[in-house]
Structure 1
Amino acid sequence: MANQMKPVERIREFLDKITYRQWVVAAGVVSILLGLIRSKVEPQTTVRRRMESLETLAEEREPFAQPSAPQPEEKKQAGGFKQMLAALSTALTPLRLRPIIQKRLLLAGKSREWSIAEFFGSCLLGAVVMWLFALVMVRNGAYAPVQKAMMVFLLGILGGLMPVVFLNTTIQRRQKQIEHQLPEVLDLLCVSVQAGLSFDAALSKITARMKGPFIDECRRMQDDIRMGVVRRTAMRSMADRCGLEDVSLFMTSIIQAERLGTSMGKTLKNQADNIRERRRQYVKAQAMKAPVKIVFPLVLFIFPAIFVVTLVPSLLYLLKNL
């Protein structure tokens, strides 16, 4: 009939009547239900619990941890609330995303500072905050219901992706620092080994006097070796944490030199020459890209100014004489 409302109009009228407080309450209820469902449905096998406990111990490893002092009630309550949030974030984290997040945290050098649950919880928190901001923004705006839903959806995705963008930026900055520091460390290692020091002694001298992300990884590799980890395993783990081909080639050459018994000084010299040559080629490639990249500033900023300076006086003179 003509007086009956269409289904689309009914849905729009229903969405317009919902306030942002009701949206917040509904989101909280859905999050709690999802956490309960995942905790009940997912298989809690003994192997999985054991693997999660080992991952937690590896992330929070402290070889000489002091016994904690008794905490007051406020700190205990804060710790309980933090544990509850961590448990909720862990329950909501998909199993397939956990190794990916762990790998990205290792590449960023934040595996000891951030856990998988904390990173995923920060993504959820960013999405919720942006979602609430979008709800407040579109509440008083003259937007259609479809536009409101799209704005809330897009801003929620943007808030959830902000920690991911920050993590990727951290990884890129850290890898650039490692690439910049690697040739210098290799030269110092080569000179120290040729002067009579062993590889471990030379690396200890360098790590004691230098700073940087690559030095931190070398120091962590030495700590792993002192704790009983096999040398080649510690070196391969270091190459995986750096995520660079140059570091991987360097660690592979050191492992092969120790296994075959070749001269460590010659191996380090060859690696230093190769890394220096690769660095020189990279700089040349970046220099070849400069003429192409400079075209856009020329067209956008320099050419218009030149045209104004050269053509405007002539045009004014012609207009005046005409």
Structure 2
Amino acid sequence: MLDTLNTMLVDALGPAGPLIAVAGLAALMLLLAVPMVMNAKPDPLDKLKETGRKRLEAETRAVLREKRRNEKLNKYAQFLEPQDAKELSAIRTRLLQAGYRSKDSVQVYYFAQVVLGLGLLALGTAYYFGAVDSPDASIKQKLIYIIGPGAVGYMAPKYWVTRRVAERQDEIQRGFPDALDMMLVCVEAGQSMDQSIVRVAAEMRASYPALADEFQIIANEMKAGKDKAAVLSDMSDRCGVQDISSFVTVLNQAATFGTSIADALRVYAGEMRDKRVMRAEEAANKLPTKMTLVTMMLTVPPLLIILVGPSAVGIANMGNIGQ
């Protein structure tokens, strides 16, 4: 068989026919093997290692950036932080309620106040002396054009934080009844309190991210071994919502007296649902009062024009005829 094939190759390709056939077959196998290697799926373990390496590098870069920024701000910490411990604790709690949990958030807050205040003060001064300055300008005008922008820049971070706190608390308050219902379902299904908190944090991420962040922080602190009562109390301070404070009190009392957490959650979840319905009814009852002024502004002027307009036109025509 091999001799016949060899003879055929020699007759067809000459004395080097067998070598040419072997080389062609090797080239064909190489051409078929390259696409297969290129399209081969990567090893899941290698992919997992690569993902972990990239994540570690990203976290390392973030830590280094944070460290460099902290070093720059720490040089001026005595000027960017209140020296009173009570005031420092109050502003730190306020920033936590706004969702700013970084270590240097207080310094950044006061730095923003100083930069915006001085920057807008300089801009206001330049604008006044460049475009408005005149011998007849009063002290009031000078204060408005010079001091006004500086005051606005100084108060802007405080206004931003206050608005952010209000929006975040409103989001937490709206999503808390749903989170309680989901937690109750998880506990009644046999999961522990820690597992239910992790599940709620994952499920609430899309609709209420602020509330999901709080539950995720609780889960991480419990995994780290922190006392559960202290973890829940910290959550109450970070949120600043009365419903969360009552929830923390309910869980701490259930743990202290050894009562069923599922029963406590069932009762409190029902109260939260009723409270949400009451808030909706309160908002609906306020709507007619809020709409009264708008309705009068949009309805009374056209009505007066329709009723009084013809009489006014008739009186004007009679005056013209008399003349």
TM-score under structure 1 length normalisation? 0.70
Q: Is the 8 A contact 2:120 2:153 kept in 1?
A: yes
Match of 1:94 in 2: 82
Moved over 3 A (4+): 63-69, 82-86, 144-147, 317-322
Larger Rg: 2
1:192 pairs with 2:186: yes
- Give the number of aligned pairs: 253
Q: In structure 2, what is the Cα distance between the partners aligned to 1:306 and 1:198?
A: 66
Name the aligned partner's letter for residue 216 of structure 1.
Answer: D
Match of 1:8 in 2: none
Deviation at 1:136, TM superposition (A): 0.8
Instruction: Please give the secondary structure, in 1, of the residue aligned with 2:165.
Output: helix
1:247 corresponds, among 238, 244, 247, to: 244
Superposed CA deviations along residues 50-109 of structure 1, whole A, max 9, x for unmatched, are: xxxxxxxxxxxxx9995559x9xxx9xxx58x8445532542432233222201111101
1:131 pairs with 2:128: no
5 Å-filtered alignment, 1:144-223, equals 144=138, 147-149=141-143, 151-211=145-205, 212-223=209-220
Q: In structure 1, what is the Cα distance between the partners aligned to 2:269 and 2:298?
A: 43
Instruction: Please give the secondary structure, in 1, of the residue aligned with 2:76.
Output: helix
2:94 corresponds, among 79, 98, 104, to: 104
Q: In structure 2, what is the Cα distance between the partners aligned to 1:154 and 1:101?
A: 25
Decide whether aligned partners of structure 1 residues 276 and 107 sit closer, same or farther in structure 2, where only a CA change above 3 A counts: same
Instruction: Please give the secondary structure, in 1, of the residue aligned with 2:159.
Output: helix
Match of 1:316 in 2: 313
Name the aligned partner's letter for residue 268 of structure 1.
Answer: L
Deviation at 1:178, TM superposition (A): 0.4
Q: In structure 1, what is the Cα distance between the partners aligned to 2:297 and 2:75?
A: 53
Q: In structure 1, what is the Cα distance between the partners aligned to 2:72 and 2:197?
A: 43
Deviation at 1:148, TM superposition (A): 2.1
Superposed CA deviations along residues 218-252 of structure 1, whole A, max 9, x for unmatched, are: 11011111112100100010011000110111111
Deviation at 1:265, TM superposition (A): 1.6
Of structures 1 and 2, the one scoring higher in RCO (CA 8 A, sep 6+) is 1
Moved more, 253-262 or 158-167: 253-262
Name the aligned partner's letter for residue 169 of structure 1.
Answer: R
Superposed CA deviations along residues 142-166 of structure 1, whole A, max 9, x for unmatched, are: 2245642454223212110001101
Q: In structure 2, what is the Cα distance between the partners aligned to 1:284 and 1:153?
A: 45
2:235 corresponds, among 231, 235, 238, to: 238
TM-score under structure 2 length normalisation? 0.70
Aligned-residue RMSD, C-alpha: 2.8
**Identical-residue share of aligned pairs (%):** 23
1:264 pairs with 2:261: yes
